Amino acid sequence: MILENHTWVTKFYLMGLSKEPELQPLIYGLFLCMYLITVFGNVLIILATISDSHLHTPMYFFLSNLSFVDICFTSTTIPKTLLNIQTQSKFITYEGCISQMYFALFFGVVDDFLLTVMAYDRYVAICHPLHYMLIMHRRQCGLLVLLSWIISALHSLSHSLMVLRLSFCMELEIPHFFCEINQMFQLACSDTFVNDILMYCADGLFGVGPFAGILYSYSKIMSTIHGISSTQGKYKAFSTCVSHLSVVFLFYCTTLGVYFSSIASHNSHSSSAASVMYTVVTPTLNPFIYSLRNKDIKEALKKLIGKESMKGSNVMKRKFP
C-alpha cells in the first residue's frame, strides 16, 4: 500500500489569460468594459420589463430572469479577475475557489434551463395560441423558473461535494482566470474517475437534454409557421423567435467550443481563452440582441429613460426655481 503525502491546501493561484505584464492593462480594460455593459444592459432590461405593464407576460418574465442570471454569472468571475490584475495578486483561497466553481456551474446551468423554458414558451405561443394563457399562467411560469434554480443548485452542489473529496498536489497554479471544474480535476493528485463519470453524465443530462428540447420546440414552431398562409403572419410569428434563437446559437456555440477545445487540445491557455466567450462575451451581447431586435423592449426603454429624464428635470426645477 502506497501512502500519499498531501498537505492541506489553503489557496490556489489564478494565472489569468496571459503572463505578459504589458497585456494586463488591456485585459483589465476589456473585462471592465464588458462587465459594466453586461450589468448596465441587463439591469435596463429588468427595469423595462418591470415598469411597462405591456411586458408583464411570460416571455418577458423569463427574459428578466435570464438577465438577472447573466449579471450573477459574470459577477462570479470578472470582479475577482479585475481585483487580481489591479492588485497584481493571483491567489484565491481554497474556499473561494470552491465557491467560485459552484456559482459558475450553478448560473451556467440556470442559463441553460431558462433558454429551454423560453423555447417552450415560444412553442406554446405559436403552436397553441388559443391555450397559451391557460398553459403559461403565472403559477406555471414561476414553477418552471423555480425548478430551473433548484435542479441547477443540486447539480452544482453534487459537483462541489465531489471536488471536496479530492486531494491536491503542490502545483496549485490554475492556468485560467477563474476556478473551472476541469482545471480542478487536472490539479488533483487523487483519482478523479468518479468525478469524470459524474461530469460526463451531467453534461449529457443538462447539456444535451435541454438542447434537444430546444430543437424539438423549434422543429414544431417551424412546422406551424410553414403552415401559415400569409407572409405577414409567418414574419410576425418568426420575429418573436429571432432574438431567442440568436442567444441560443451564441450560448451553445461558445459552450461547445470550450468543450471540444478542452478535449482536442491539452493547452489550458487556449481553453481559458475560449471560456471567455461564454462567461464574458455572451452575457455582454445578450442585452444588445434583445433590445436591438425587440420592438417592445425598445419602446419600454424609451418610456423608462423618458420618465427618468422628466424626474431629473423636475428635481432640478425644485432646486433651482
16-38, pLDDT tens digit by residue? 887 888 889 999 999 999 999 99
CA distance 95 to 164: 10
In-domain check, residue 64: yes
The count of structural domains within the chain is 1
Share of the chain above pLDDT 90, in %: 41
pLDDT tens track for 236-261 = 878 878 888 888 888 887 777 666 65
User: What pLDDT does 19 receive?
Assistant: 80
* Alpha helices for 52-93 (secondary structure H): 58-87
Q: Which residue has the higher pLDDT, 242 or 71?
A: 71
pLDDT at 310: 53
**Model pLDDT for residues 205-226, shown as the tens digit of each residue:** 887 889 899 999 999 999 998 8
Q: 14 phi and psi, to 5 degrees? A: -85, 115
**Consecutive H or E run containing 11:** strand 11-14
Mean pLDDT of 180-190: 84
- With respect to residue 76, please indicate whether it lies within any of the assigned structural domains: yes
92 is a domain residue: yes
* Confidence grade of residue 203 (pLDDT, cut at 50, 70, 90): confident
pLDDT at residue 120 is higher than 90: yes
Note whether residue 258 is domain-resident: yes
Nearest to 113 by CA among 41, 205, 239, 180: 205
Q: Is 189 helix (H, G, I), strand (E, B) or coil?
A: coil
In a domain, 107, yes or no: yes
Q: Which three cell numbers stand for residue 38?
A: 453586461
Phi-psi region of 178 (alpha: psi -120 to 50; beta: other; left: phi over 0): beta
Closest of 47, 59, 55, 42 to residue 107, by C-alpha: 42
Which stretch, 50-64, 223-237, 279-293, has highest mean pLDDT? Answer: 50-64
Which pLDDT score is estimated for 32? 96
Residue 188 lies in a domain: yes
Residues near 117 by beta carbon (within 8 Å), at least 6 away in sequence: 62, 144, 145, 148
Q: Which domain holds residue 245?
A: 11-297
Check: CB of residue 276 under 8 Å from CB of residue 17: yes
Chain centroid offset of residue 263 CA = 22
From the list 91, 97, 84, the residue with the least C-alpha distance to 28 is 84
If one counts every other C-beta atom within 10 angstroms of the C-beta of residue 223, the result is 11
The identity of residue 104, as a single letter, is A
> Does pLDDT of 3 surpass 60?
no
Closest CA to 126 of 114, 118, 137: 118
Is residue 318 included in any domain, yes or no? Answer: no
In a domain, residue 305? The reply is: no
pLDDT value, residue 4: 41
The per-residue pLDDT for 176 is: 86
Residue 274 belongs to a domain with what CATH number? 1.20.1070.10
Give the dihedral of Cα atoms 65, 113, 105, 263; nearest 10 deg.
-140
